[in-house]
Amino acid sequence: MSRRLIVLPPAEQDILEAYQWYESHRDGLGDDFLLTVEAAFSAIEVFPDHAPLTYKNYRRYSLSRFPYFVFYSTTEKTVDVHAVYHSSRDPLSWIDRQ
């Protein structure tokens, strides 16, 4: 049985900002970004332990087409998405938002 995926508000904001940036550079690119994020979420939900641990109990999943990472943690029943960060950013700076 897969765990329920929960996208926390800071991660929702990350996704919105990236979407807006991509859309401002080319119509439809933001939509492509969202589809890639949704595919990542589906994979994470089905195989939550597949991505490597990067810090304490947080895992990092790399998006396939865009230079972004999904940072998440798991419990018995949920997968909590904490951040969707560009790969050029400090990979642990999102922790300060928690």
Compute the average pLDDT of residues 26-45: 96
Mean pLDDT of the chain: 92
Domains for the chain: give ranges and CATH numbers. Answer: 4-97 (3.30.2310.20)
Q: pLDDT confidence of 78, banded at 50, 70, 90?
A: very high
Compute the average pLDDT of residues 47-74: 93
Burial grade of 38 (CB within 10 A; 0-12, 13-18, 19 or more): exposed
pTM, two decimals, is 0.90
Q: How far apart are CA 69 and CA 85, in angstroms?
A: 5
Q: How far apart are CA 21 and CA 25, in angstroms?
A: 7
pLDDT at 93: 73
- State residue 52 phi and psi, 5-degree precision: -70, 150
